[in-house]
Amino acid sequence: MGMIGIALLALLGHYGVKFAKASAIPYRAPRQPCTTFNVQVPITARQHLYDVVPVNNNIDAIHFAQDIDTWDSPSMVERITQNITISRTYDIHAQLCVSADGKKKNLLQIATHGGGFDSRYWEVMLQPDQHSYVRAALAAGYSILTYDRIGTGQSSKPDAYTDIQLPAHIEVLRVLRVLTEMVRNGTIASIASSWSCSGSASMHFDKIIHVGHSVGSITTYGLLSSYPTLSDAAVLTGFLVSKEVFDGRQTAGDLQYAPQNDPYLFADSSSGYAIPGTSGALQTGFFSSSVNTTTHIGGFEPEFLDYAYAIRQPQPVVEFGSGIVLYAEHSTAPLFTGPVQLLVGEFDFIVCLGDCKNTYNTTQANEMFPKARNFEIHLQQGGGHGLPFHNNATMGFQAQFDWLARNGF
């Protein structure tokens, strides 16, 4: 096993975290390697049981959506029937990419994807030089850790009603922070080096930047609210306090029961896992054909809608609603003192009904982070909710990196 393996087992035993089935894969760009691994993450989370329509087929999926969206439907807070505490261990699939020669490789971004996708959201492999956030972060000199949230990709697919809620997502992200402590003391870097990935066993990460998208941003926000010292800076994309409320969010998604939508792709999903039934439904939420009237930037190429639909992932039916409950319970991150950027597409339909320029609430957004040392809202010209899939993706990436640089990252 060697000294690295022995030291690793001792450290993992202390934290209760276990690695399994690790493998090294080369990143497509030269000298920018990545390592994939699975890690067993133990968590305890206080959650809720909700009174929602169980989804076991396509008819149930539409019934669920209609029941949630009916004008006099109870709110998710009103649907709570019981408080519960879960203690589980989940398999989390992750990828660590260490910039080979970047000046900022000691700054680690931990990126949490949103609903409808897994970690491949961050690494679009269609025209990746213009649309892969992972590739852009590496090119900018950062290192980056991405992972599949529970219920998606190659991570565990637990109970959709009791397990996959925002408190569980926050606790998974918190425990993954244990991994960053291993990174800080060189353990992860040593492992990567032993797989011929990082190139330096002594390299360590000095600061942690949490990046989220949509539900992943709500997860990151929950981390900043509950554990304000675990992050040095945060970028929340596809997330903004809006004056408008999208009342038709569920029905607009043309929901289908995931195993019925594609019995091959989603064979490991079970009751409560739903998915946009068509590429058109995915377009409604994640894509915008509009362009900025001044710069004429925006829109997307049709093949990116096809690509996004091909990598789509189910979203458990209470996941988003549990985020609404989380925000009701934690409406601010009162003790987080690092810098925060909110980045949202100008035409994000999910967040602002397609008009983020005129509908976001600046005052309330600022109140969410009362002690942040620098708070910024950036509207990405011509962007929709799925930012990497649009023509202007690199502009959004650069806006994040420029803001980080201005704040010393």
- Residue ranges per domain, the chain? 2-406
Cβ contact 165:330 at 8 Å: no
pLDDT of res. 204: 74
Spatial distance between the Cα atoms of 81 and 259, rounded to a whole number of angstroms? 27
Lowest mean pLDDT among 35-39, 154-158, 396-400: 35-39
| Residue 374 backbone zone (phi > 0: left; psi -120 to 50: alpha; other: beta) | beta
CATH number of the 2-406 domain? 3.40.50.1820
Find all residues with CB under 8 Å of 233, minimum gap 6, and list them.
Answer: 207, 209, 210, 338, 339, 340, 404, 407, 409
Question: Token pair of 219, please?
Answer: 């997860």
Q: What is the mean pLDDT of the chain?
A: 85
Closest CA to 318 of 46, 65, 42: 65
For residues 11 and 322, the model is more confident at 322
Find all residues with CB under 8 Å of 191, minimum gap 6, and list them.
Answer: 4, 8, 22, 35
pLDDT digits (tens, 9 = 90+) for 60-79: 999 999 998 887 889 899 99
Strands (E), 158-292: 207-213, 233-237, 255-257, 273-276
Question: In 3-state terms, what secondary structure has residue 271?
Answer: coil
Spatial distance between the Cα atoms of 220 and 307, rounded to a whole number of angstroms? 26
Lowest mean pLDDT among 13-27, 100-114, 369-383: 13-27
Cβ contact 121:213 at 8 Å: yes
pLDDT of res. 194: 45
For residues 54 and 187, the model is more confident at 54
Sign of the CA dihedral 290, 395, 365, 361? negative
User: What is the pTM (predicted TM-score) of this model?
Assistant: 0.90
Spatial distance between the Cα atoms of 163 and 409, rounded to a whole number of angstroms? 35
Spatial distance between the Cα atoms of 293 and 295, rounded to a whole number of angstroms? 6
Q: 366 falls in which pLDDT band (50, 70, 90)?
A: confident
Question: Token pair of 6, please?
Answer: 């022995």
pLDDT of res. 17: 53
Q: 180 falls in which pLDDT band (50, 70, 90)?
A: low
pLDDT of res. 206: 86
Cβ contact 20:8 at 8 Å: no
pLDDT of res. 103: 79
**DSSP H/E element including 340:** strand 340-345
pLDDT digits (tens, 9 = 90+) for 297-351: 999 999 999 999 999 999 999 998 898 888 778 889 999 999 999 999 999 998 8
Question: In 3-state terms, what secondary structure has residue 372?
Answer: coil
pLDDT digits (tens, 9 = 90+) for 82-120: 999 999 999 999 998 888 777 788 899 999 999 999 999
Spatial distance between the Cα atoms of 9 and 15, rounded to a whole number of angstroms? 10
In this predicted structure, the answer to whether residue 252 has a pLDDT above a threshold of 70 is: no
pLDDT of res. 149: 97
- Report the b/e string of 115-146 with b at 16+ CB within 10 A: bbbbbbbbbbebebeebbbbbbbbbbbbbbbb
Question: Token pair of 152, please?
Answer: 């998606």
pLDDT of res. 275: 94
| Residue 52 backbone zone (phi > 0: left; psi -120 to 50: alpha; other: beta) | beta
